[in-house]
Amino acid sequence: MPEELLLEVKALRTYFHTARGKLAAVDGVSFDVKRGEIVGVVGESGCGKSVTAQSVLRLLDEKHDVSYEGEIRFAGSNLLELKQRQMREIRGNEIAMIFQDPLSSLNPVYTIGEQIIEAIMLHQKIRRKEAVRKAIELLRLTGIPSPEQRVWEYPHQLSGGMRQRVMIAIALACEPQLLIADEPTTALDVTIQAQMMELITELNRKLAMSVLLITHDLGVVAETCQRVVVMYLGQVVEMADVASLFARPLHPYTIGLMGAIPRMDSDRTQDLQAIEGSVPSLLNVPSGCRFAPRCAYADEQCRQHMPELKRDAASGTMVRCWHAGTLAEAFEATEAAIATETSEAAERAEEKGGVQHAIYP
């Protein structure tokens, strides 16, 4: 597959103009998405990941007083320079988006068929009969059983997982090159989440559609994404391919995020590694490294000077930390300890006669 760049975000800054001043919700973010690739953006709420996604489609323009700096290059043109009319051509047609809450994203007074057909006819000049056929096809593609009947049902008649499938069907209506999924599974149950992620990766493979996946769930990222962008307080703090990020996380924030999740193989007698405090407000952004006030390793240098996003020589990871190398080694050492422990635990379980053992790591 050619390594062709589909989306390239360069030094993006998104400002909200509020009564309390100009706030940079996204502050100098650069990343790219290649054709056919799934890129994950992770971070806590308030880290700017959703705003970044919405900036790409310029969805904030209408509701908020926003301004942008930098570039968002999509298939050659800079989205930030386009007029609203041109932007509408791109939205839904070349870049589609699905949201967290599938119920409020669907209009309750129209059948799901009507809504898919509307999305199709908005950008494609085809007859209605043709559009109906296509809508049914899309519902089948997204795994909705008996789509011929379902197409004339209303959103409230469907379950949460089904509605999210409908949202994906609408998003796929015009065969977009890029799908932006903003926390697509957060509102769903774990078995349904597994179905959804399976669907998204399958569509990515089948249609060679790139996906920008916004999520807070590192488990989802590990299983579906090829590359990951970790954000904190409007900035990229770490960016790497999935394998090296999980094998050798460099930024203390990334390490903290990983330690905060109760894993299926972790030692239950230990406390979780919890980062102190919470994400500060954009109104008082710390000076120096933005993570320094919550970072256990921060020193004077961190509090005074903001580190640049630099390439780590060993792994090729981009990281924004003064102490990146030393921290990674410490992390690897503890990981190794855990790994031996779990393999021992697995052996013990095997001795007991673990029939379903294959399912569990």
Partner 1 sequence: MPSIHEQEGGPMPLLEVKGLSKHYSTKRPASFRKSLVKAVDDVSFHIYEGETYGLVGESGCGKSTLGKTLLRLVEPTAGEALYQGEDLNRMPSRQLRASRRQLQMVFQDPYSSLNPRKTIGRTLEEPLIIHGIGSPQERTELAMRMLETVGLQEEHYDRLPHELSGGQRQRIGLARALILEPRLVICDEPVSALDVIIQSQIINLMRKLQRELKLTYLFIAHDIGVIRHISDRIGVMYLGKMVEEARTDDLFAQPLHPYTQVLLSAVPIPDPRVKKERMILQGDIPSPLETVSGCAFHPRCPFAVETCRKLAPAKREVAPGHFAACHLA
- Judged by beta carbon, residue 92 or residue 259, the one nearer partner 1 is 259
The answer to whether residues 38 and 208 touch, using CB atoms and an 8 Å cutoff, is no
Q: Is 293 in the site for partner 1 (CB under 8 A)?
A: no
**Cα distance between residue 49 and residue 7, in whole Å:** 16
Inter-residue contact 57 to 91 (CB < 8 Å):
yes
> Does residue 337 belong to the site contacting partner 1 (CB under 8 A)?
no
Mark the segment that binds partner 1 (CB under 8 A) among 8-16, 202-210, 269-277, 297-305. 269-277
For residue 100, state whether it binds partner 1 (rule: CB under 8 A): no
Question: In whole angstroms, how close is the CB of 14 to partner 1 at the nearest point?
Answer: 21
- Helices (H) and strands (E) counted in the chain, each on its own, are 12, 12
Min dist. Cβ of residue 341 to partner 1 (A)? 14
Mark residues 164-203: x for contact with partner 1 by CB under 8 A, - for none: -------------------------xxxxxxx-xx-----
- Please pick, from the candidates 155, 161, 184, 307, the single residue that binds partner 1 as defined by CB under 8 A: 161
Q: Candidates 72-80, 82-90, 118-126, 210-218: pick the segment binding partner 1 (CB under 8 A).
A: 210-218
Q: How many CB atoms lie within 10 A of CB 288?
A: 17
Instruction: Among 84, 89, 148, 360, indicate the residue that binds partner 1 (CB under 8 A).
Output: 360
Please give the span between the terminal C-alpha atoms of the chain, in angstroms, as a whole number.
31
Q: Quick one: which H or E segment has residue 248? A: none
Total number of residues shown for the chain? 361
The residue among 110, 160, 108 whose CA lies nearest residue 135 is: 110
Coil vs helix vs strand at 47: coil
Residues 76, 262, 283, 284: which binds partner 1 (CB under 8 A)? 262
Of 194 and 207, CB closest to partner 1? 194
* The one-letter amino acid at 339: A
358 touching partner 1, by CB under 8 A: yes
Does residue 352 belong to the site contacting partner 1 (CB under 8 A)? yes
CB 58 within 8 A of CB 3: no
Integer Cα distance of 231 and 357 in angstroms:
36
- For the CB of residue 331, give the shortest distance to partner 1 in the complex, in Å: 13
Q: Are strands 178-182 and 210-215 parallel, antiparallel or unpaired?
A: parallel
Instruction: Select 147 or 259, whichever has its Cβ closest to partner 1.
Output: 259
Question: Would you count residue 220 as binding partner 1 (CB under 8 A)?
Answer: yes
The residue ranges of DSSP E strands in 150-295, in sequence order, are: 178-182, 210-215, 227-232, 235-241
User: Is 319 near partner 1 (CB under 8 A)?
Assistant: no
Using the rule CB under 8 A, which residue among 269, 300, 313, 340 binds partner 1?
Answer: 269
**Count of residues engaged in binding partner 1, rule: CB under 8 A:** 57
| CA atoms of 246 and 175, how far apart (whole Å) | 32
Dihedral, CA atoms, 189, 278, 320, 242, nearest 10 degrees?
-10
Nearest CB to partner 1, comparing residues 19 and 76: 19
Q: How far is the CB of 91 from partner 1 (least distance, A)?
A: 29
Residue 160, Cβ neighbours under 10 Å: how many?
A: 14
Biggest distance spanned by C-alpha atoms of the chain: 68
By CB under 8 A, tell whether 354 contacts partner 1: yes
User: Would you say 30 or 273 has its CB closer to partner 1?
Assistant: 273
Q: Is residue 103 involved in binding partner 1 (CB under 8 A)?
A: no
Distance CA 247, CA 316 (A): 13
Q: How far is the CB of 309 from partner 1 (least distance, A)?
A: 22
User: Residue 108 or 353: which CB sits closer to partner 1?
Assistant: 353
Write phi, then psi, for 348 (nearest 5 degrees). -60, -45
Residues that bind partner 1 (CB under 8 A): 44-45, 145, 159-162, 189-195, 197-198, 216-223, 242-243, 246-247, 256-264, 266, 268-269, 271-276, 278, 349, 352-356, 358-361
